[in-house]
Amino acid sequence: MRRLMERLRSGEVLLVDGALGTMLIARGLAPGRCPESINLERPQWLVEIARAYREAGADVLTANTFGGSPLSLERYGLAEDTEAIQRAAIRATREAAGDEAFIAVSCGPSGRLMKPYGDTEPDEVSDSFRRQLRAIAAAGVDLIAIETMTDLDEAVLAVQAAREVASGVPISATLTFEDTPRGFFTIMGHDIEQAAARLAEAGADIIGSNCGQGIETMLRITAGFQEHSSLPLIVQPNAGLPQTRASEVIYPESPEFMAQRLPALLDAGASIIGGCCGTTPAHTAAFRRVLDDHIR
Ligand SMILES: [Zn+2]
């Protein structure tokens, strides 16, 4: 299998899988439980979910390591299992991927606010990312996906940590933006232009956005990145904003609704496309059909 960056550079569009968290909840992950505890307790769930995404046509399968940094695992008393949690996630994803899909590992926020806004030292956050990413690099993966970052400073620390301990592994970095009357900003107040510049400078190979408010806003965010960057763009929208109905959380954007807007996302410059919260293998299958038509 040709390497991931090589395939992107040749102009191919790659399809990443969809949500993991909401799929785990649908399978019975109890509210308040650590999603990464599944890696050790029920790895078979991960194999089944990844297999469903692969069968739906995903080129890239994501390991369940979003909250796998020791700072994030600490909230559940699982920091000492950091290495075992990464290894188990990658093993399960590899079992589903075989030789047919790339393996990405997810690296989400630490869950801490750094000084001066919070009480956590940036060094503590860097150390935490380094420990997670060192374990990931040792297991061998095709992509480190730093994602759902709302603090650009933290995203930069994660990219730098990946560069340091996992050299040679491609790095993608995506932020979540709020749609404001003044344009798109992260919660911490950074805009797309600042994000594009600083993530590239830190050494990201692929940049973009994930999560957020659905595919319509993601079209405009993608166009913003296209304007300010020449790096390949990765875009993973939520299936809309979650709504609560009779204590059930519903994501409103159907596979068909999102798939219809995929050509516009490609025109806006996206070259890796996937889904975030609320997307399912049905979304991935609908995206696959559009991509196959688009390529033809
Ligand atoms: Zn999301």
Q: Kindly state the average pLDDT of the residues 267-292.
A: 97
CA of 212 to the centre of ligand 1 (A): 6
Q: Read off the CATH number of the domain in which 195 is found.
A: 3.20.20.330
Residues with CB under 5 A from ligand 1 (ion): 211, 238, 276-277
Q: Kindly state the average pLDDT of the residues 232-245.
A: 95
Counted domains in the chain: 1
Q: pLDDT-derived band of residue 248, with 50, 70 and 90 as boundaries?
A: confident
In the chain, beta strands by DSSP E: 14-15, 60-63, 102-107, 143-149, 171-175, 178-180, 183-185, 206-211, 233-237, 243-245, 248-250, 270-273
CA of 238 to the centre of ligand 1 (A): 5
Residues 6+ apart with CB under 8 A from 88: 39, 40, 43
Q: What pLDDT shows up at residue 31? A: 84
Can you give the residue range of the structural domain that contains 186?
A: 4-295
Q: What is the DSSP letter of 79?
A: G
pLDDT tens per residue across span 131-143:
999 999 999 999 9
Q: How far apart are CA 153 and CA 201, in angstroms?
A: 12
CA of 25 to the centre of ligand 1 (A): 13
In 230-275, beta strands by DSSP E: 233-237, 243-245, 248-250, 270-273
CA of 282 to the centre of ligand 1 (A): 17
What pTM, to 2 d.p., does this model score?
0.96
Q: Kindly state the average pLDDT of the residues 133-157.
A: 97
CA of 249 to the centre of ligand 1 (A): 13
